[in-house]
Amino acid sequence: MKMSPVVLVCCVLVAAVAPRCSSEMYTSLLNVKQAISVERKLIDYLRTYIDHEQERLQDIKRFYTKVSDLHSELYKGPAAGMANPLVAFTLIKRLHSEWLNVVYSNEALENAQALRSSYEEEEAELPKLEDLQGAAKGLMRLQDVYALQVSSLARGRFQRVANGEAVDVYMPAVSIPLSGDDCFLVGKVAYEQEDYYHSVQWMEESVRLFRGTRGEWSPENEGTLEDALDHLAFSHFKTGNVSHALSLSQELLHHDPMNGRVLQNVEKYEKLLVAAGPPRGDGLRRPTSTYLRTRETYERLCQTQGSQPMHFKNPRLFCDYFTNNNPALLLMPTKREVLSLQPFVILYHDFITDVEVEDIKSLAQPGLRRSVVAAGEKQATADYRISKSAWLKGSSLSVVGKLDQRISTLTGLDVKHPYGEYLQVVNYGIGGHYEPHFDHATSPSSPVFKLKTGNRVATFMIYLSPVEAGGSTAFIYANFSVPVVEKAAIFWWNLHRNGEGNTDTLHAGCPVLIGDKWVANKWIHEFGQEFLHRCSLNPEE
């Protein structure tokens, strides 16, 4: 396949996107939104490049028309025009210099270089290869947790199979279909991790879409039909489906008959089929998770998005206007909903105002960094927590200080530092989630004890934004989940009254399917609460 120099330069530009740019964009939707403005600038640069190239091509077309007209009108015979010395001179000049200037013009290179320079000005703000891989993993996470069909995702739909039919999990207001190259890149991320369960599904969709375009090449694509067939064939082989691997390899040979490696694979697959007898069928198995031991319950609770009818039939659960016997709440009590008794979980509706939400998000944005988890005595990033977070200190007059006072009024606890940690603001990314975990420390070496104020006795989490789908808070062992309720706050006790950790508080932040999820966490410690939340020797309390 031949490419013009202009197309080749564009290919180089596209290939250059991956290696050098800001990282972990995929872990926060805020960063993804900010990337839109960067692409707007790139669009303007590309428009300028196209205008300059069109001007250059118009000049070339004018030269072509001039020369063509001379050959169709003036040079009708071998010596007809040569008798005129002016005609002879212009012919010699054209062949000596004009054609040379057109063929070896630097204008195309200069236009491409101008585009490249403009691109490099924005390069620091562009996603890295890590972001592309993280975004692909986010799509696969959504696929798994919400049992979504890859074929529906490729069409821009969010569907799962129920009773043999595809049903919509959610209908987004704005959607976009995926190309064969989009699916190829997702499948390639899985393939490179030797996750053939996902690579088979995404590569199959990639092959289908590439076939639909009859394998036509596009300069912005990284993959081709041949690439997708190659990866899919080997993925099927690794899952034990040798017959599929053989047929795909044979199809690949039609496009690339002299590919020695594929010829060897075909010979190998044919021998394996003869030795093994009839095909054993599809061997696709989801990869096991060493960390997520409660996967089935976790995914079921995420899929129900807060709806457990039997749970809410408990007559001891109720809603009321709550004052906590505090004079500050007498005239304006809080709307309280008791969600669970074991563990004790409460939802406070309309806890925060719209203005306070925007203030908190604005304060947090400059300090957002990749969220970490406890790793022994240290903290580290992990794939089972995808978000960015910032810590906000508060004075008595600041919006953070006012929220602290409101939390203290509702819970009756001392939440000032160091008895309460600073307010943590979190923004979730593509498929952003936090798999099942405890908020309280389960090891004496945990960083939670750095404040020297004991363990985390309670959690107060504020929902700063709505989400369209997903993002529920799932309590795994207690078997219920709470959907995101905008401007509400959820509160629960992490420890029993005797100081032991309550295992029923194992909880998770389900992946965000559609929406931009923001939360603020306030973790309250044991010390400072001695006379506010009395301890007990009874292990049942």
Q: Alpha-carbon distance 427 to 32, whole Å? A: 11
Asked if the peptide bond before residue 343 counts as cis, ω within 30 degrees of 0, the response is yes
Residue 469 identity (one-letter amino acid): A
Q: Alpha-carbon distance 505 to 480, whole Å? A: 11
Pair 145, 115 in one domain:
no
- The residue from 110, 125, 140 where one domain ends is 125
| Total domains present in the chain | 3
- The secondary structure element, H or E, covering residue 254 is helix 242-255
> Does residue 332 form part of some domain?
yes
Pair 70, 173 in one domain:
no
Q: Alpha-carbon distance 460 to 447, whole Å? A: 19
Residues 360 and 400: beta-carbon distance below 8 Å? yes
Pair 121, 87 in one domain:
yes
- The residue from 105, 125, 145 where one domain ends is 125
> Does residue 415 form part of some domain?
yes
- Name the residue range of residue 228's domain: 129-275
Pair 326, 351 in one domain:
yes
> Does residue 297 form part of some domain?
no
Pair 109, 137 in one domain:
no
In CATH, what number is assigned to the domain containing residue 432? 2.60.120.620
Backbone angles phi, psi at 77, to 5 degrees: -125, 160
Pair 437, 353 in one domain:
yes
Pair 403, 329 in one domain:
yes
pLDDT in tens, the chain (541 residues): 334 433 333 333 333 333 333 458 888 999 988 899 999 999 999 999 999 999 999 999 999 999 998 888 777 666 656 677 888 888 888 989 999 999 999 999 999 999 999 999 999 888 999 999 999 999 999 999 999 999 999 999 999 998 889 999 999 888 899 999 999 999 999 999 999 999 999 999 999 999 998 867 788 899 999 999 999 999 999 999 999 999 999 999 999 999 999 999 999 999 999 887 665 555 678 877 666 678 989 999 999 865 554 555 678 889 999 999 999 999 999 999 999 999 999 999 999 999 999 999 999 999 999 998 877 667 888 888 889 999 999 876 799 999 999 999 999 999 999 999 999 999 999 999 999 999 999 999 999 999 999 999 999 999 999 999 999 999 999 999 999 999 999 999 999 998 999 999 999 999 999 999 999 999 999 999 988 887 777 766 7
Q: Alpha-carbon distance 467 to 26, whole Å? A: 17
Pair 482, 511 in one domain:
yes
Pair 382, 486 in one domain:
yes
Q: Alpha-carbon distance 136 to 134, whole Å? A: 5
> Does residue 5 form part of some domain?
no
CB atoms within 10 A of CB 455: 20
Distance from CA of residue 149 to its chain's centroid? 17
- The residue from 91, 125, 159 where one domain ends is 125
> Does residue 381 form part of some domain?
yes
Pair 108, 154 in one domain:
no
Residues 448 and 456: beta-carbon distance below 8 Å? yes
Pair 363, 420 in one domain:
yes
Pair 116, 148 in one domain:
no
